[in-house]
Structure 1
Protein backbone atom coordinates (compact mmCIF):
# COMPACT_ATOMS: atom_id res chain seq x y z
CA UNK A 1 0.00 0.00 0.00
CA UNK A 2 1.58 3.27 -1.20
CA UNK A 3 5.09 1.69 -0.97
CA UNK A 4 4.53 1.08 2.73
CA UNK A 5 5.18 -2.07 4.74
CA UNK A 6 2.63 -3.49 7.18
CA UNK A 7 4.06 -4.80 10.45
CA UNK A 8 2.67 -6.19 13.69
CA UNK A 9 5.91 -7.42 15.26
CA UNK A 10 7.29 -4.28 16.88
CA UNK A 11 5.27 -3.57 20.04
CA UNK A 12 8.02 -4.74 22.42
CA UNK A 13 11.22 -4.21 20.46
CA UNK A 14 13.44 -1.27 21.37
CA UNK A 15 13.12 0.25 17.89
CA UNK A 16 9.38 -0.36 17.88
CA UNK A 17 8.84 1.28 21.26
CA UNK A 18 10.90 4.26 20.13
CA UNK A 19 8.90 4.55 16.90
CA UNK A 20 5.53 4.38 18.67
CA UNK A 21 6.73 6.88 21.27
CA UNK A 22 7.89 9.28 18.56
CA UNK A 23 4.56 9.01 16.73
CA UNK A 24 2.50 9.62 19.87
CA UNK A 25 4.70 12.55 20.91
CA UNK A 26 4.52 14.15 17.46
CA UNK A 27 0.74 13.76 17.06
CA UNK A 28 -0.56 14.18 20.61
CA UNK A 29 2.31 15.80 22.52
CA UNK A 30 2.30 12.90 25.01
CA UNK A 31 5.67 11.52 26.08
CA UNK A 32 5.46 7.80 26.86
CA UNK A 33 9.19 7.40 27.58
CA UNK A 34 8.54 7.22 31.35
CA UNK A 35 7.13 3.73 30.73
CA UNK A 36 10.67 2.55 29.97
CA UNK A 37 11.22 2.82 33.72
CA UNK A 38 7.68 2.41 35.05
CA UNK A 39 6.93 -0.67 32.96
CA UNK A 40 5.29 -1.30 29.60
CA UNK A 41 2.17 -3.44 29.32
CA UNK A 42 3.33 -6.81 27.89
CA UNK A 43 -0.12 -7.49 26.44
CA UNK A 44 0.10 -4.67 23.86
CA UNK A 45 -0.13 -5.67 20.20
CA UNK A 46 0.65 -2.98 17.63
CA UNK A 47 -0.51 -2.81 14.02
CA UNK A 48 1.28 -0.31 11.82
CA UNK A 49 2.25 0.90 8.40
CA UNK A 50 5.92 1.80 7.98
CA UNK A 51 7.82 3.87 5.42
CA UNK A 52 11.25 2.32 5.81
CA UNK A 53 12.20 2.84 9.46
CA UNK A 54 9.49 5.47 9.99
CA UNK A 55 6.19 4.44 11.57
CA UNK A 56 3.52 6.50 9.79
CA UNK A 57 0.30 4.97 11.17
CA UNK A 58 -0.45 2.85 14.23
CA UNK A 59 -3.31 1.20 16.10
CA UNK A 60 -2.56 -0.80 19.26
CA UNK A 61 -4.59 -3.29 21.29
CA UNK A 62 -4.07 -4.14 24.94
CA UNK A 63 -5.78 -6.65 27.19
CA UNK A 64 -8.38 -5.38 29.63
CA UNK A 65 -9.38 -7.39 32.69
CA UNK A 66 -12.79 -6.16 33.77
CA UNK A 67 -15.49 -6.85 36.31
CA UNK A 68 -18.88 -6.19 34.70
CA UNK A 69 -22.22 -6.94 36.38
CA UNK A 70 -20.61 -9.41 38.77
CA UNK A 71 -18.63 -11.34 36.16
CA UNK A 72 -14.98 -11.28 35.14
CA UNK A 73 -14.70 -10.28 31.50
CA UNK A 74 -11.63 -10.34 29.27
CA UNK A 75 -11.73 -7.56 26.71
CA UNK A 76 -9.44 -5.46 24.56
CA UNK A 77 -8.73 -1.76 24.69
CA UNK A 78 -7.62 0.30 21.72
CA UNK A 79 -4.89 2.90 22.19
CA UNK A 80 -2.13 4.80 20.35
CA UNK A 81 -4.29 5.46 17.28
CA UNK A 82 -2.30 7.92 15.17
CA UNK A 83 -1.44 8.73 11.55
CA UNK A 84 1.17 11.22 10.44
CA UNK A 85 -0.39 14.18 8.56
CA UNK A 86 1.33 13.40 5.24
CA UNK A 87 -0.25 9.94 5.23
CA UNK A 88 -3.82 10.78 6.14
CA UNK A 89 -6.85 10.26 3.89
CA UNK A 90 -5.30 7.29 2.08
CA UNK A 91 -7.05 4.56 4.10
CA UNK A 92 -4.35 3.65 6.63
CA UNK A 93 -6.48 4.32 9.72
CA UNK A 94 -9.40 2.25 8.44
CA UNK A 95 -7.13 -0.59 7.37
CA UNK A 96 -5.40 -0.79 10.75
CA UNK A 97 -8.67 -0.58 12.67
CA UNK A 98 -10.08 -3.49 10.68
CA UNK A 99 -6.94 -5.55 11.28
CA UNK A 100 -6.98 -4.80 15.01
CA UNK A 101 -10.68 -5.56 15.36
CA UNK A 102 -10.34 -8.80 13.41
CA UNK A 103 -7.63 -9.90 15.86
CA UNK A 104 -9.69 -8.85 18.88
CA UNK A 105 -12.83 -10.61 17.64
CA UNK A 106 -11.05 -13.97 17.75
CA UNK A 107 -10.55 -13.62 21.50
CA UNK A 108 -13.25 -11.34 22.94
CA UNK A 109 -16.66 -9.90 22.16
CA UNK A 110 -15.90 -6.58 23.88
CA UNK A 111 -13.56 -3.83 22.67
CA UNK A 112 -13.27 -0.48 24.48
CA UNK A 113 -11.65 2.82 23.57
CA UNK A 114 -11.54 6.38 24.85
CA UNK A 115 -11.66 9.27 22.41
CA UNK A 116 -12.51 12.91 21.95
CA UNK A 117 -13.56 12.22 18.34
CA UNK A 118 -16.32 9.59 18.54
CA UNK A 119 -17.51 10.08 14.96
CA UNK A 120 -14.31 8.44 13.72
CA UNK A 121 -15.25 5.15 15.34
CA UNK A 122 -18.98 4.74 14.80
CA UNK A 123 -18.49 3.10 11.40
CA UNK A 124 -16.54 0.33 13.14
CA UNK A 125 -19.49 -0.50 15.40
CA UNK A 126 -18.52 1.54 18.45
CA UNK A 127 -21.13 3.39 20.50
CA UNK A 128 -20.72 5.98 23.24
CA UNK A 129 -21.47 5.15 26.86
CA UNK A 130 -22.18 7.65 29.61
CA UNK A 131 -20.52 7.46 32.99
CA UNK A 132 -21.46 8.88 36.38
CA UNK A 133 -19.48 10.88 38.94
CA UNK A 134 -20.52 10.19 42.53
CA UNK A 135 -20.50 13.06 45.04
CA UNK A 136 -20.57 13.44 48.81
CA UNK A 137 -21.07 16.88 50.35
CA UNK A 138 -21.27 15.75 53.96
CA UNK A 139 -18.24 13.56 54.53
CA UNK A 140 -16.26 13.79 57.74
CA UNK A 141 -12.79 14.98 56.81
CA UNK A 142 -10.95 14.78 60.14
CA UNK A 143 -7.81 12.75 59.54
CA UNK A 144 -7.67 9.73 61.85
CA UNK A 145 -5.14 7.68 59.92
CA UNK A 146 -1.85 8.04 58.15
CA UNK A 147 -1.13 8.79 54.51
CA UNK A 148 2.07 9.38 52.57
CA UNK A 149 2.45 10.69 49.04
CA UNK A 150 4.39 8.28 46.85
CA UNK A 151 6.96 9.36 44.28
CA UNK A 152 7.33 7.55 40.97
CA UNK A 153 10.97 8.64 41.06
CA UNK A 154 11.58 6.44 44.11
CA UNK A 155 12.53 2.83 43.42
CA UNK A 156 11.08 1.81 46.79
CA UNK A 157 7.76 3.54 46.11
CA UNK A 158 7.58 2.05 42.62
CA UNK A 159 8.18 -1.40 44.07
CA UNK A 160 5.42 -0.79 46.63
CA UNK A 161 3.03 0.23 43.85
CA UNK A 162 3.82 -2.85 41.79
CA UNK A 163 3.32 -5.13 44.80
CA UNK A 164 -0.02 -3.51 45.52
CA UNK A 165 -1.12 -3.84 41.90
CA UNK A 166 -0.11 -7.50 41.84
CA UNK A 167 -2.70 -8.25 44.54
CA UNK A 168 -5.37 -5.69 43.71
CA UNK A 169 -9.05 -6.46 44.15
CA UNK A 170 -11.72 -4.97 41.90
CA UNK A 171 -12.97 -1.61 43.14
CA UNK A 172 -16.45 -2.58 41.94
CA UNK A 173 -18.25 -5.74 40.90
CA UNK A 174 -20.64 -3.73 38.72
CA UNK A 175 -17.98 -2.01 36.61
CA UNK A 176 -14.24 -1.83 37.25
CA UNK A 177 -10.89 -2.79 35.75
CA UNK A 178 -7.87 -4.69 37.06
CA UNK A 179 -5.61 -3.87 34.12
CA UNK A 180 -1.82 -3.75 33.90
CA UNK A 181 -0.63 -0.62 35.79
CA UNK A 182 1.15 1.01 32.81
CA UNK A 183 -1.58 3.54 31.98
CA UNK A 184 -2.24 4.27 35.67
CA UNK A 185 1.46 5.02 36.16
CA UNK A 186 1.72 7.14 33.02
CA UNK A 187 -1.35 9.19 33.92
CA UNK A 188 0.10 9.89 37.37
CA UNK A 189 3.52 10.74 35.91
CA UNK A 190 2.14 13.17 33.32
CA UNK A 191 -0.44 14.84 35.59
CA UNK A 192 1.33 16.73 38.40
CA UNK A 193 -1.90 17.48 40.28
CA UNK A 194 -2.56 13.76 40.81
CA UNK A 195 -1.23 12.40 44.09
CA UNK A 196 -0.66 8.73 44.79
CA UNK A 197 -1.30 8.32 48.51
CA UNK A 198 -0.24 5.25 50.42
CA UNK A 199 -2.60 4.50 53.31
CA UNK A 200 -0.62 1.94 55.35
CA UNK A 201 -3.36 1.27 57.90
CA UNK A 202 -5.63 0.25 55.01
CA UNK A 203 -2.88 -1.39 52.92
CA UNK A 204 -4.06 0.71 49.98
CA UNK A 205 -2.85 3.21 47.40
CA UNK A 206 -5.36 5.88 46.38
CA UNK A 207 -5.02 8.19 43.37
CA UNK A 208 -6.43 11.62 44.22
CA UNK A 209 -6.42 15.24 43.18
CA UNK A 210 -7.75 18.38 44.83
CA UNK A 211 -9.39 21.43 43.28
CA UNK A 212 -10.55 24.32 45.47
CA UNK A 213 -12.61 22.67 48.23
CA UNK A 214 -13.10 19.34 46.43
CA UNK A 215 -11.27 16.04 46.73
CA UNK A 216 -11.41 13.64 43.77
CA UNK A 217 -10.84 9.94 44.38
CA UNK A 218 -9.68 8.62 41.00
CA UNK A 219 -8.70 5.03 41.77
CA UNK A 220 -8.09 2.66 44.67
CA UNK A 221 -5.50 -0.12 44.55
CA UNK A 222 -5.75 -2.62 47.41
CA UNK A 223 -6.18 -6.32 48.08
CA UNK A 224 -9.28 -5.45 50.13
CA UNK A 225 -11.14 -2.31 49.10
CA UNK A 226 -11.53 0.03 52.10
CA UNK A 227 -14.76 1.85 52.82
CA UNK A 228 -15.32 5.40 51.62
CA UNK A 229 -15.35 6.62 55.23
CA UNK A 230 -12.04 4.95 56.06
CA UNK A 231 -10.36 6.35 52.95
CA UNK A 232 -11.54 9.91 53.53
CA UNK A 233 -10.65 9.81 57.22
CA UNK A 234 -7.11 8.67 56.38
CA UNK A 235 -6.49 11.60 54.00
CA UNK A 236 -5.59 15.03 55.31
CA UNK A 237 -8.37 16.95 53.54
CA UNK A 238 -10.42 19.77 55.00
CA UNK A 239 -12.70 20.62 52.06
CA UNK A 240 -16.46 20.29 51.76
CA UNK A 241 -16.91 17.98 48.77
CA UNK A 242 -15.65 14.57 47.69
CA UNK A 243 -16.11 13.18 44.18
CA UNK A 244 -15.57 9.49 43.52
CA UNK A 245 -14.65 8.68 39.93
CA UNK A 246 -15.27 4.96 40.45
CA UNK A 247 -18.35 2.78 40.70
CA UNK A 248 -19.01 2.83 44.47
CA UNK A 249 -20.79 -0.48 45.18
CA UNK A 250 -17.81 -1.84 47.19
CA UNK A 251 -17.23 1.33 49.22
CA UNK A 252 -20.06 0.91 51.80
CA UNK A 253 -21.30 4.37 50.88
CA UNK A 254 -24.32 6.05 49.35
CA UNK A 255 -23.48 9.22 47.38
CA UNK A 256 -25.47 12.40 47.90
CA UNK A 257 -25.41 13.25 44.20
CA UNK A 258 -24.82 11.54 40.87
CA UNK A 259 -23.77 13.46 37.76
CA UNK A 260 -23.90 11.84 34.33
CA UNK A 261 -21.24 12.87 31.84
CA UNK A 262 -19.44 11.76 28.68
CA UNK A 263 -15.91 10.76 29.62
CA UNK A 264 -14.96 9.65 26.12
CA UNK A 265 -15.56 5.92 26.41
CA UNK A 266 -16.93 3.94 23.48
CA UNK A 267 -17.64 0.20 23.39
CA UNK A 268 -18.12 -2.42 20.71
CA UNK A 269 -19.95 -5.53 21.81
CA UNK A 270 -21.93 -6.39 24.96
CA UNK A 271 -21.31 -4.11 27.94
CA UNK A 272 -23.46 -5.34 30.82
CA UNK A 273 -23.48 -2.18 33.01
CA UNK A 274 -24.64 0.01 30.12
CA UNK A 275 -27.47 2.28 31.23
CA UNK A 276 -26.62 1.91 34.92
CA UNK A 277 -24.76 4.34 37.17
CA UNK A 278 -21.09 3.38 36.84
CA UNK A 279 -17.64 4.76 36.18
CA UNK A 280 -14.46 3.04 35.10
CA UNK A 281 -11.20 4.45 36.39
CA UNK A 282 -10.02 7.63 34.69
CA UNK A 283 -6.38 6.72 35.37
CA UNK A 284 -5.55 6.22 31.72
CA UNK A 285 -4.11 8.23 28.85
Structure 2
Protein backbone atom coordinates (compact mmCIF):
# COMPACT_ATOMS: atom_id res chain seq x y z
CA UNK A 1 0.00 0.00 0.00
CA UNK A 2 1.21 3.53 -0.75
CA UNK A 3 1.89 5.42 2.46
CA UNK A 4 -1.61 6.47 3.57
CA UNK A 5 -1.09 9.85 5.27
CA UNK A 6 -3.48 11.67 2.92
CA UNK A 7 -5.95 8.78 2.87
CA UNK A 8 -5.97 8.56 6.67
CA UNK A 9 -6.74 12.27 6.94
CA UNK A 10 -9.56 11.88 4.41
CA UNK A 11 -11.06 8.93 6.29
CA UNK A 12 -10.78 10.74 9.62
CA UNK A 13 -12.53 13.79 8.16
CA UNK A 14 -15.29 11.63 6.64
CA UNK A 15 -15.86 9.86 9.95
CA UNK A 16 -16.14 13.12 11.88
CA UNK A 17 -18.58 14.57 9.34
CA UNK A 18 -20.80 11.49 9.58
CA UNK A 19 -20.65 11.21 13.36
CA UNK A 20 -18.22 8.31 13.78
CA UNK A 21 -14.77 9.47 14.83
CA UNK A 22 -12.03 7.50 13.07
CA UNK A 23 -9.47 8.65 15.66
CA UNK A 24 -11.58 7.21 18.47
CA UNK A 25 -12.10 3.93 16.62
CA UNK A 26 -8.55 3.21 15.44
CA UNK A 27 -5.51 2.58 17.63
CA UNK A 28 -2.37 3.55 15.65
CA UNK A 29 1.09 2.01 15.86
CA UNK A 30 3.57 4.26 14.10
CA UNK A 31 7.24 5.02 13.48
CA UNK A 32 8.51 8.56 13.00
CA UNK A 33 11.53 10.12 11.33
CA UNK A 34 12.28 13.81 11.71
CA UNK A 35 8.86 14.38 13.24
CA UNK A 36 7.04 12.78 10.29
CA UNK A 37 5.22 9.46 10.28
CA UNK A 38 7.01 6.89 8.12
CA UNK A 39 5.17 3.66 9.01
CA UNK A 40 1.71 2.83 10.30
CA UNK A 41 -0.42 -0.12 11.38
CA UNK A 42 -3.94 0.54 12.70
CA UNK A 43 -6.18 -1.63 14.88
CA UNK A 44 -9.98 -1.34 14.86
CA UNK A 45 -12.47 -3.29 16.94
CA UNK A 46 -14.91 -5.27 14.80
CA UNK A 47 -18.06 -6.61 16.49
CA UNK A 48 -18.79 -9.73 14.44
CA UNK A 49 -21.35 -12.53 14.56
CA UNK A 50 -19.68 -15.85 13.69
CA UNK A 51 -21.47 -19.20 13.67
CA UNK A 52 -24.24 -17.88 15.87
CA UNK A 53 -21.98 -16.27 18.47
CA UNK A 54 -20.80 -12.68 19.07
CA UNK A 55 -17.06 -12.20 18.51
CA UNK A 56 -15.09 -9.07 19.30
CA UNK A 57 -12.42 -9.21 16.61
CA UNK A 58 -9.57 -6.85 15.80
CA UNK A 59 -9.33 -5.47 12.30
CA UNK A 60 -5.80 -4.68 11.12
CA UNK A 61 -5.89 -1.83 8.61
CA UNK A 62 -3.92 0.92 6.85
CA UNK A 63 -0.66 -1.04 6.96
CA UNK A 64 1.98 0.97 5.13
CA UNK A 65 5.55 2.25 5.10
CA UNK A 66 6.73 5.38 3.31
CA UNK A 67 8.56 4.27 0.12
CA UNK A 68 11.81 5.97 1.20
CA UNK A 69 11.93 3.95 4.44
CA UNK A 70 11.01 0.46 3.27
CA UNK A 71 13.10 -2.64 3.99
CA UNK A 72 14.44 -1.08 7.18
CA UNK A 73 12.31 -2.99 9.69
CA UNK A 74 9.73 -0.27 10.32
CA UNK A 75 6.78 -2.37 9.14
CA UNK A 76 7.90 -5.25 11.35
CA UNK A 77 8.23 -2.95 14.37
CA UNK A 78 4.73 -1.54 13.87
CA UNK A 79 2.94 -4.81 13.26
CA UNK A 80 4.71 -6.54 16.15
CA UNK A 81 3.62 -3.71 18.45
CA UNK A 82 0.06 -3.99 17.13
CA UNK A 83 0.03 -7.77 17.66
CA UNK A 84 1.35 -7.40 21.20
CA UNK A 85 -1.49 -4.97 21.88
CA UNK A 86 -4.05 -7.36 20.37
CA UNK A 87 -2.78 -10.53 22.05
CA UNK A 88 -4.28 -9.63 25.43
CA UNK A 89 -7.50 -8.20 24.01
CA UNK A 90 -8.68 -10.29 21.06
CA UNK A 91 -8.75 -13.95 20.08
CA UNK A 92 -9.47 -13.19 16.42
CA UNK A 93 -7.57 -10.79 14.15
CA UNK A 94 -8.74 -10.05 10.60
CA UNK A 95 -7.43 -8.13 7.61
CA UNK A 96 -7.75 -8.11 3.83
CA UNK A 97 -4.83 -7.64 1.47
CA UNK A 98 -3.66 -8.22 -2.11
CA UNK A 99 -0.29 -9.30 -0.62
CA UNK A 100 -0.96 -12.18 1.78
CA UNK A 101 2.72 -13.16 1.82
CA UNK A 102 3.48 -10.10 3.95
CA UNK A 103 1.39 -11.47 6.81
CA UNK A 104 2.22 -15.19 6.88
CA UNK A 105 5.35 -14.58 9.01
CA UNK A 106 3.18 -12.99 11.70
CA UNK A 107 0.78 -15.90 12.17
CA UNK A 108 -1.91 -14.89 9.68
CA UNK A 109 -3.41 -17.46 7.33
CA UNK A 110 -5.56 -17.09 4.25
CA UNK A 111 -9.22 -18.10 4.62
CA UNK A 112 -11.14 -18.88 1.44
CA UNK A 113 -14.28 -16.92 0.61
CA UNK A 114 -17.21 -17.30 -1.75
CA UNK A 115 -19.80 -15.09 -3.38
CA UNK A 116 -23.29 -16.52 -3.86
CA UNK A 117 -25.46 -16.47 -6.96
CA UNK A 118 -29.14 -17.13 -7.50
CA UNK A 119 -31.36 -16.88 -10.57
CA UNK A 120 -34.65 -15.14 -10.04
CA UNK A 121 -37.82 -14.15 -11.79
CA UNK A 122 -39.69 -11.58 -9.74
CA UNK A 123 -42.22 -9.09 -11.04
CA UNK A 124 -41.25 -5.60 -9.85
CA UNK A 125 -44.08 -3.92 -7.96
CA UNK A 126 -42.72 -0.40 -7.50
CA UNK A 127 -39.66 1.78 -7.19
CA UNK A 128 -39.35 1.38 -3.45
CA UNK A 129 -35.79 2.61 -2.92
CA UNK A 130 -34.27 6.05 -2.66
CA UNK A 131 -30.60 6.99 -2.31
CA UNK A 132 -29.69 8.48 1.05
CA UNK A 133 -28.25 11.99 0.98
CA UNK A 134 -25.72 12.04 3.81
CA UNK A 135 -25.41 15.81 3.55
CA UNK A 136 -28.90 15.93 5.09
CA UNK A 137 -29.16 15.50 8.85
CA UNK A 138 -32.33 13.40 8.66
CA UNK A 139 -30.66 10.84 6.42
CA UNK A 140 -27.55 10.75 8.61
CA UNK A 141 -29.78 10.12 11.63
CA UNK A 142 -31.59 7.38 9.74
CA UNK A 143 -28.32 5.70 8.78
CA UNK A 144 -27.05 5.79 12.37
CA UNK A 145 -30.28 4.25 13.65
CA UNK A 146 -30.10 1.42 11.15
CA UNK A 147 -26.45 0.70 11.95
CA UNK A 148 -27.08 0.87 15.71
CA UNK A 149 -29.89 -1.67 15.58
CA UNK A 150 -28.83 -3.90 12.70
CA UNK A 151 -29.39 -7.64 12.76
CA UNK A 152 -26.41 -9.71 11.57
CA UNK A 153 -26.88 -10.36 7.89
CA UNK A 154 -25.84 -13.99 8.35
CA UNK A 155 -25.57 -16.55 11.11
CA UNK A 156 -22.30 -17.76 9.56
CA UNK A 157 -20.40 -14.45 9.34
CA UNK A 158 -22.17 -11.16 9.97
CA UNK A 159 -21.62 -7.80 11.58
CA UNK A 160 -23.20 -6.35 14.70
CA UNK A 161 -23.55 -2.62 15.38
CA UNK A 162 -20.48 -1.02 13.74
CA UNK A 163 -20.03 2.38 12.11
CA UNK A 164 -16.47 3.55 11.36
CA UNK A 165 -15.52 0.79 8.91
CA UNK A 166 -18.97 0.79 7.29
CA UNK A 167 -18.84 4.54 6.74
CA UNK A 168 -15.31 4.52 5.33
CA UNK A 169 -16.09 1.63 2.99
CA UNK A 170 -19.61 2.53 1.90
CA UNK A 171 -20.54 6.16 2.59
CA UNK A 172 -19.05 7.37 -0.70
CA UNK A 173 -21.20 4.86 -2.63
CA UNK A 174 -24.98 4.96 -3.17
CA UNK A 175 -26.87 3.68 -0.12
CA UNK A 176 -30.42 2.62 -0.99
CA UNK A 177 -33.19 2.91 1.59
CA UNK A 178 -36.60 1.26 1.30
CA UNK A 179 -39.03 3.00 3.65
CA UNK A 180 -41.66 0.25 3.44
CA UNK A 181 -39.04 -2.30 4.55
CA UNK A 182 -37.14 0.10 6.83
CA UNK A 183 -34.04 -1.41 5.28
CA UNK A 184 -30.79 -0.14 3.80
CA UNK A 185 -29.28 -2.07 0.90
CA UNK A 186 -25.78 -1.58 -0.50
CA UNK A 187 -26.15 -2.72 -4.10
CA UNK A 188 -25.18 -2.12 -7.71
CA UNK A 189 -27.20 -3.09 -10.78
CA UNK A 190 -25.66 -4.01 -14.14
CA UNK A 191 -28.43 -4.67 -16.63
CA UNK A 192 -30.46 -7.56 -15.28
CA UNK A 193 -27.72 -8.60 -12.82
CA UNK A 194 -27.88 -7.26 -9.26
CA UNK A 195 -24.90 -7.20 -6.90
CA UNK A 196 -25.82 -6.94 -3.20
CA UNK A 197 -23.01 -6.19 -0.76
CA UNK A 198 -24.89 -5.60 2.49
CA UNK A 199 -28.40 -5.39 3.91
CA UNK A 200 -28.90 -3.35 7.07
CA UNK A 201 -32.12 -3.88 9.02
CA UNK A 202 -33.24 -4.86 12.51
CA UNK A 203 -35.54 -7.62 11.27
CA UNK A 204 -35.58 -10.66 9.02
CA UNK A 205 -36.48 -10.24 5.37
CA UNK A 206 -36.16 -12.17 2.14
CA UNK A 207 -34.47 -11.46 -1.16
CA UNK A 208 -37.87 -11.41 -2.86
CA UNK A 209 -38.98 -8.50 -0.67
CA UNK A 210 -35.96 -6.51 -1.83
CA UNK A 211 -36.42 -7.40 -5.50
CA UNK A 212 -40.06 -6.33 -5.47
CA UNK A 213 -38.90 -2.81 -4.60
CA UNK A 214 -36.58 -2.56 -7.61
CA UNK A 215 -38.31 -1.23 -10.75
CA UNK A 216 -35.98 -2.82 -13.30
CA UNK A 217 -36.10 -6.57 -14.06
CA UNK A 218 -33.48 -8.72 -12.34
CA UNK A 219 -32.58 -12.20 -13.59
CA UNK A 220 -29.51 -12.91 -11.47
CA UNK A 221 -28.44 -11.78 -8.01
CA UNK A 222 -24.91 -12.07 -6.64
CA UNK A 223 -24.64 -11.83 -2.87
CA UNK A 224 -21.31 -10.87 -1.30
CA UNK A 225 -22.12 -12.35 2.11
CA UNK A 226 -23.43 -15.65 3.43
CA UNK A 227 -27.01 -16.07 2.15
CA UNK A 228 -28.42 -18.27 4.92
CA UNK A 229 -30.81 -15.61 6.19
CA UNK A 230 -31.68 -13.79 2.97
CA UNK A 231 -31.75 -16.49 0.28
CA UNK A 232 -30.62 -19.97 1.43
CA UNK A 233 -30.88 -21.41 -2.11
CA UNK A 234 -28.04 -19.24 -3.44
CA UNK A 235 -25.08 -21.24 -4.75
CA UNK A 236 -21.53 -20.60 -3.56
CA UNK A 237 -18.86 -19.55 -6.07
CA UNK A 238 -15.24 -19.19 -4.82
CA UNK A 239 -14.22 -15.56 -5.15
CA UNK A 240 -11.63 -13.03 -4.02
CA UNK A 241 -13.42 -9.73 -3.52
CA UNK A 242 -11.65 -6.78 -5.16
CA UNK A 243 -8.36 -8.70 -5.26
CA UNK A 244 -8.12 -8.60 -1.45
CA UNK A 245 -7.61 -11.92 0.32
CA UNK A 246 -9.12 -12.48 3.75
CA UNK A 247 -6.43 -13.17 6.35
CA UNK A 248 -7.11 -14.42 9.89
CA UNK A 249 -4.95 -14.84 12.97
CA UNK A 250 -6.33 -16.84 15.88
CA UNK A 251 -9.66 -18.62 16.14
CA UNK A 252 -12.27 -18.33 13.40
CA UNK A 253 -15.22 -20.69 13.78
CA UNK A 254 -16.51 -20.15 10.23
CA UNK A 255 -13.32 -21.44 8.63
CA UNK A 256 -14.22 -24.17 6.15
CA UNK A 257 -17.75 -22.81 5.68
CA UNK A 258 -18.95 -21.04 2.54
CA UNK A 259 -19.05 -17.35 3.43
CA UNK A 260 -17.75 -13.90 2.59
CA UNK A 261 -16.80 -11.12 4.96
CA UNK A 262 -19.16 -8.29 3.96
CA UNK A 263 -17.47 -5.47 2.05
CA UNK A 264 -18.77 -3.00 4.61
CA UNK A 265 -16.67 -4.68 7.33
CA UNK A 266 -13.45 -5.32 5.43
CA UNK A 267 -10.31 -3.66 6.72
State how far apart, in whole Å, the 2-side matches of 1:85 and 1:76 are. 26
Q: Do residues 222 (structure 1) and 201 (structure 2) align?
A: yes
- Structure 2, unmatched stretches of 5+, are none
CA displacement at 1:252 relative to structure 2: 4.8
State how far apart, in whole Å, the 2-side matches of 1:141 and 1:54 are. 58
Q: Do residues 262 (structure 1) and 240 (structure 2) align?
A: yes
State how far apart, in whole Å, the 2-side matches of 1:179 and 1:91 are. 36
Match of 1:14 in 2: none
TM-score (norm 2): 0.89
State how far apart, in whole Å, the 1-side matches of 2:210 and 2:44 are. 31
Deviation string, structure 1 residues 99-121 (Cα, Å, up to 9, x no partner)? 10111110111100010110000
Across the aligned residues of Structure 1 and Structure 2, the Cα RMSD in angstroms comes to: 2.1
- Structure 1, unmatched stretches of 5+, are 1-21
Match of 2:134 in 1: 152
Match of 1:91 in 2: 73
Judged with a 3 Å threshold, the aligned counterparts in structure 2 of structure 1 residues 210 and 175 are, in CA distance, closer, same or farther, namely same
Give runs of ≥4 in structure 1 deviating > 6 Å.
none
Match of 1:244 in 2: 223
Counterpart among 46, 57, 64 of residue 46 in structure 2: 64
Match of 2:92 in 1: 110
Q: Is the 8 A contact 1:215 1:237 kept in 2?
A: no
State how far apart, in whole Å, the 2-side matches of 1:43 and 1:150 are. 24
Match of 1:211 in 2: 190
CA displacement at 1:211 relative to structure 2: 2.2
Q: Do residues 279 (structure 1) and 255 (structure 2) align?
A: no
Higher relative contact order (CA 8 A, sep 6+): 2
State how far apart, in whole Å, the 1-side matches of 2:91 and 2:62 are. 21
SS at match of 1:201: coil
State how far apart, in whole Å, the 2-side matches of 1:46 and 1:204 are. 34
Deviation string, structure 1 residues 27-53 (Cα, Å, up to 9, x no partner)? x79942322312224331111012243
State how far apart, in whole Å, the 2-side matches of 1:106 and 1:120 are. 23
Counterpart among 161, 184, 197 of residue 143 in structure 2: 161
Match of 1:12 in 2: none
CA displacement at 1:158 relative to structure 2: 1.2
CA displacement at 1:202 relative to structure 2: 1.4
TM-score (norm 1): 0.84
Match of 2:120 in 1: 138
State how far apart, in whole Å, the 1-side matches of 2:29 and 2:254 are. 30
State how far apart, in whole Å, the 1-side matches of 2:82 and 2:201 are. 32
Q: Is the 8 A contact 2:122 2:218 kept in 1?
A: no
Judged with a 3 Å threshold, the aligned counterparts in structure 2 of structure 1 residues 209 and 145 are, in CA distance, closer, same or farther, namely closer
Judged with a 3 Å threshold, the aligned counterparts in structure 2 of structure 1 residues 29 and 59 are, in CA distance, closer, same or farther, namely closer
